[in-house]
Amino acid sequence: MSALSHSGAGPWLGQWPQWSTQLTQAAFALSVFLYYRYQPSPLHGQQFVKLLKRLLTGPGLLALGCVGLHLLEVAAQDEPVFSSNSLFFTTIYTVNLGLFVIFLARTNYAWRALVLFRASPRLQKEWTLFEVLLGATLLFRLVGIDPPAYIGTPIVVLLGLFGVYLSGHQKWVAYLSQRDKWRAVLLQAGLLLGVLIFVQYFRVTQVDPQLIAPRPQYAFLLLTAFFSAFYALMGLMVTFFNLPISDIVEQRRNEILRLQRLTQIIQRGQTSGEVYRILLESAAQTVNADAAWLDLDPAHTGVEASQATLCLNFSPEQARELRARLTTYDLPEGEFITNDLHLRPGFEGTLQHYRSLLQLPLRGLHYNYGMLYLLKEEPHTFHHEDLSILQTFTGQAVLSIENLELVQTSLANQRTQEELKIASQVQDSLIPKNLPTDNWFDISSHSLAAKEVGGDFYDFLHLPGRRLAVIIGDVSGKGVTAAFHMAQMKGIFHSLMQENPLAKNERDKFPVPSKFMAQANTALIHCLEKSSFITSSLYIIDYEQGGFVFARAGHCHTLYYHAMREEVFYFESQGLGLGIIRNDSYEKHIKNQFYDYSPGDVMVIYTDGIVEARGGDGTDEYGEDRLKLRLEESYFQEAHDIKNFILDDLNAFTSGHPIHDDQTLLVIKFKSAQPLP
């Protein structure tokens, strides 16, 4: 290093203080480096290529400036004024030195951004140390004493090694895409060239006798130049040797991206058709297939048979032909690879140029959705690794399809719920809200369905001559089916209880209960399924006669309180449910029962949901006996209070158990005659 020492100021300028030149040089270098040190980082996000490009088009061009000035200098040699003019020569040298310092500062701080990209705190500290040590080399010349070679050289070599160590930090290369890597290689090569141009220039001019400037900050320039060049070289090498690996990385990344695309489809609410299409395209791209087709199973995918084949670079006719040939081979149901299709008999003709075939089923939880076929023109091109990545694809596609189905099912369920709600409202409107009122009786009612809609019903109808028809019924089964029949029964009630104008006497104008039941039975034959039946009781209460007539068609026994005898009992009468016998013989199985009531009598009418309500350990039934006891305790109250008394007891009995059948309870209390207002 000291061997390169220069003699100092030339005779032309007289005695130029060498220390001032050196101080200026050092100050310039220091200020330029410090200026760039505190500039915002030249790296924005992960735009590494942009950074390299700006570096080459900015400071990189300074090298061209250096070459330009040198050429000017050479050209000026011919002019007598400039020829052998040390001042001119030295001026150009000084300018070039300045340009070199700027170039080095820019490059060094660009490399800092790259070295420190996602760096650990330790590396950041190491970099700062490197900077401080580099700065310290500026002092070599300033203090005026050149360290002897045996001290200076090891220091410079050690710092050089430090630079080499820092040049190993090329993490950013991994973040380059395949295309950017090529660009980075070229840009770094350009920068290396820039450094070389400067170095070459100074190597030549340094030994030129015309140079009258003092020696530059050799150690500092050498080290920064070395680091600039070495980092660029390392980066170039790393990028270059990364190229083949990045191909695989790129491929994996694309596979992940395609998988993501498949996954996102469901979130965008796309159709199953789109899922299949994307599956076909992604699968073909991933393994670089020349052609592909997808056979969907119309039974499980809901697609039309005519659209069950999706093709890529392939026609449905070709697919049909190839499939027909494949079936003669009796291929396995699952995954299958053949890499020598062309050698197998039966595959001659138009399809002969496809030599490799991969077959993969779309496996669902319960069945296969279809079969995916991929074709390549080159033989021996499908591998078992292809199968595994493709299986991930088909798995993801099937998952998407099944999710789509789930979404659709839940939507359908929601609709059904809505419709049930409407049905519930409709049924509610079928139950009489305004109970009949008159001064000779008092009625209270209660009804509760086990599900949204139920099979219990009751209704009232005023008949001429101060008569009242009361009907109660229970359709076997629960839910929607029962609700339909309940509505039917209500219709039958209202249509049969019409006045018959042909009747010979007043009594026959309306059907007696047994007649009504027989007619209702006939009407129901055609609309009740074989295993369903309806139980019902119809009461026609005649105030003027002070009595009622009723028929019980398999319905629960009527509970009665007889005021004069002060006795509670069940009416024991015979009668068959409706819809059990489906011919005219029904009439033989139903009877009318007449009864005279007196004021204060109470009639309790109900469905089996009351007496069969479960309580206790879940097998106990509420029962007729308990119901009878409750009436014995409450007969003296108003109808409304009797009903509540019974219901409170029922609720206490069933508490903690879900109601499993519809419940209906009617309480009718006969009153003594009050004069009409």
Partner 1 sequence: MKVTAQPSADTLTLLLDGELDASSAIVLDTELAKPDILNYRKVLIDCAKLSYISSAGLGVFISHLQRFQDANVKLVFFNMQEKVFNVFEILGLDALMTIVPSLTEAEAA
- Binding region for partner 1 (CB under 8 A): 476-477, 530-533, 535, 553-557, 574-577, 579-582, 589, 608, 619
Radius of gyration (Cα) for the chain, nearest Å? 51
Other residues' Cβ atoms within 10 Å of the Cβ of residue 184 = 24
Q: With respect to partner 1, which residue has the nearer C-beta, 92 or 553?
A: 553
Residue with tokens 């007649």: 515
Buried b (16+ CB within 10 A) or exposed e, 225-245: bbbbbbbbbbbbebbbebeee
Q: How far is the CB of 476 from partner 1 (least distance, A)?
A: 4
Q: Name the residue type at position 412.
A: A
Smallest separation (angstroms) from partner 1 to the CB of 574: 6
CB of 576 to partner 1, least distance (A): 3
Closest by CA position to 235, among listed 294, 279, 176: 176
Residue closer to partner 1, measured from CB, 142 or 580: 580
Nearest distance from residue 512's CB to partner 1, in Å? Answer: 18
Of 364 and 554, which CB lies nearer to partner 1 in the complex structure? 554
d(CA 642, CA 636): 8
Q: What's the one-letter identity of residue 638?
A: E
355 or 552: CB nearest partner 1: 552
Around 249, how many Cα atoms within 13 Å sit in the side-chain half-sphere? Answer: 13
Please identify, using beta-carbon distances, which residue of 110 and 528 lies nearer to partner 1.
Answer: 528
Q: How many helices (H) and strands (E) does the chain have?
A: 18, 17
Provide the minimum distance between the beta carbon of 665 and partner 1 in the complex, in angstroms, as a whole number.
17
Helices 86-115 and 218-267: angle between axes, nearest 10 degrees: 40
Q: How many CB atoms are closer than 10 A to CB 273?
A: 14
| CA angle at 117 for the pair 115 and 122, rounded to the nearest 5° | 70
Backbone angles phi, psi at 365, to 5 degrees: -65, -40
Shortest approach of partner 1 to residue 591 CB, angstroms?
10
Sort 135 into a burial class: Cβ within 10 Å, 0-12 / 13-18 / 19+.
Answer: middle
| Nearer to partner 1 among residue 320 and residue 660 (C-beta) | 660
How far apart CA 293 and CA 284 sit, in angstroms, is: 9
For residue 655, the minimal CB distance to partner 1 (Å) is: 21
Smallest distance, partner 1 to C-beta of residue 533, A: 6
Q: Give whichever of 217 and 476 is closer to partner 1, judged by the CB atom.
A: 476
Strand partners, 668: 443, 603
Partnered with residue 463 across adjacent β-strands are: 467
**Whose Cβ is closer to partner 1: residue 268's or residue 530's?**
530
Q: How far is the CB of 450 from partner 1 (least distance, A)?
A: 12
Q: How far apart are CA 634 and CA 519, in angstroms?
A: 37
Q: Which two tokens stand for residue 16?
A: 């130029």
**Best CA proximity match to 341, nearest among 350, 333, 486:** 350
How many other C-beta atoms lie within 10 A of the C-beta of residue 17?
A: 11
Q: H or E element: which one contains 429?
A: helix 384-430
- Nearest approach, Cβ of residue 628 and partner 1 (Å): 14
Q: How far apart are CA 249 and CA 293, in angstroms?
A: 27
Contact present, 247 and 217 (Cβ < 8 Å): no
Closer by beta carbon to partner 1, 321 or else 612: 612
DSSP state for residue 575 in the 8-state scheme = B
Whichever of 205 and 532 has its CB closer to partner 1, that residue is 532
3-state secondary structure 520-540: HHHHHHCCCCCCCCEEEEEEE
**Residue placing its CB nearer to partner 1 in the complex, 510 or 533:** 533
Question: Please, what is the minimum distance in Å from the beta carbon of residue 555 to partner 1?
Answer: 8
Complex with partner 1: residue 361 or 577, whichever CB lies closer? 577
Q: How far is the CB of 406 from partner 1 (least distance, A)?
A: 26
CA dist 537 → 255, 296, 360, 387, 489 (Å): 73, 58, 66, 71, 12
Q: From the CB of residue 42, how many other CB atoms can be counted at a distance below 10 Å?
A: 20
Compute the least distance from the CB of residue 568 to partner 1, in Å.
Answer: 18
User: Measured between alpha carbons, how far is 295 from 258 in angstroms, rounded to an integer?
Assistant: 21
Cβ distance to partner 1 smaller for residue 223 or 475? 475
Return the number of other C-beta atoms located less than 10 Å from residue 551's C-beta: 24
Task: Identify which of residues 274 and 529 has a Cβ nearer to partner 1 in the complex.
Answer: 529
CB 552, min distance to partner 1, A: 8
> Nearer Cβ to partner 1, position 28 or 571?
571
Least gap, CB of 391 to partner 1 (angstroms): 41
